Amino acid sequence: MKRERDEMESIVWQTPANPPQRHDYIFNNGVRYVRPYYFEFISHAKKRWAGKTIVDLFADEFKGRPRDYYVSAVESGRIQVEGETVPASYIVQSSQKISHFLHRHEPPVMALDVIILQKEPDVLTVYKPASVPVHPCGQYRKNTVVGILQAEHDLAPLFPIHRLDRLVSGLLILARSASKADFFRQQIESGVIEKKYIAKVVGVFPEDEKIVDANVNFNAREGRSTAEVSKDCGNGITPLKGKVACTKFKRISTDGKHSIVSCQPITGRTHQIRVHLQYIGHPIANDTLYLSKSADNVSTEGIRTGREFKHFSQFDSDLGSGDASEKGSGEDFTNDPLCTNCPNLAPKGYDGFEEGLWLHCVQYSGQGWAYECPLPDWAILS
């Protein structure tokens, strides 16, 4: 116990105040990893946590690690209450400050550059690669668009003014000041901004413009949305749970097997374009979450998105250790004796290659401004 506490005191950890650096990244086989680092999470006990032992709290709320790990973390002082080491049987009270010092492994993303499209004094536009989150969230901190731009271009602070799902590529607009971010937010809230995407979908999409008005109901537990329309079941119209949503679609081209479709979301619901395309029978052709088993001409020939964007990419980047082992080694980082992810670089559950969606943000425009992004390779049907 004493030896573990002495080791704890000798470790230097990071907080959100520590900016990402170039040497934080390791590149291997087209994948960008983050060199594991020590980090302290701080939270205040929620009401539902009160009355639980400190170990039960973590085992119940944070299931990514086994209970034995939390017992060891409490006993070694890596989990503390109000800055003090407590026994594993300690009963948590509401609003207490709880800290968790851990060896943090971030999920990997595809090793695609975040390309700067336009750099203005108060606005930055970039080509966001698929698989990279926009900003720190969940297990991602450095492996984000904001983190990479800070590490590789010394651009900070940045304020993303719209959302792009992690697996979606394309145009991302970031304000370089809080006042400019407010300017964009006001236009978004007033509904004057137009958004355009393209998607590669299953089958021959209808030639005429198609407008889909179907509520979108997002299930956070399942991580997916469903489309809903009112139905008269004889006992009255069934009430809808989802939010009002509308998307306009127009076919650009088709090869008889797939179609490239222009998508204009009028509203902005979670997975709106993806679920609306599924609803009308033309899901995105590599969207495993929304591909219907009954859809005709579903292609299982997925293209590795890392190759799709090769004209924007530098896979064997000199920003990290090009010869790094995917499983990690003592030369890449120091293994932590308590860490449940060491000696791997990636956390458990993130070891496989992840493909980006064939969904790409092309343009955003508002009152007096417009920004565009180049098309990906998959948007050109042979």
- Residues with catalytic annotation? 165
d(CA 11, CA 331): 18
Give the global pTM: 0.82
Mean pLDDT of 263-278: 96
Which is more confident, 2 or 165? 165
What pLDDT is stored for residue 64 in this prediction? 86
Helix (H/G/I), strand (E/B), else coil: 182: helix
Res 7: pLDDT = 43
Asked if residue 169 has pLDDT above 50, the reply is: yes
Q: Residue 358: pLDDT above 90? A: yes
- State residue 359's pLDDT score: 98
Domains of the chain: 194-295 (3.30.2350.10)
Helix, strand, coil percent content, the chain, rounded in steps of 5: 20, 30, 50
pLDDT at res. 324: 33
Residue 218 contacts by C-beta under 8 Å, 6 or more apart in sequence? 224, 225, 242, 269, 270, 271
CA distance 299 to 356: 15
Give the relative orientation of helices 67-75 and 54-61 as an angle to the nearest 10 degrees: 140
Residue 147 has φ and ψ, to the nearest 5°, of: -65, -45
Q: Quick check: 137 pLDDT over 60? A: yes
Residue 332 pLDDT class (50, 70, 90 cuts): low
| For the chain, percent of residues with pLDDT exceeding 90 | 71
Question: What confidence tens digit (pLDDT) does each residue in 152-161 have?
Answer: 999 999 999 9
- 292 against 274, higher pLDDT: 274
Element of type H or E holding 150: helix 145-153
Residue 90's pLDDT band (cuts 50, 70, 90): very high
Burial of 254 (0-12, 13-18, 19+ CB in 10 A): middle
Position 19 confidence tier, pLDDT thresholds 50, 70, 90: confident
Q: How many of the other CB atoms lie within 10 Å of CB of 34?
A: 25
The residue to which tokens 């082992």 are assigned:
325
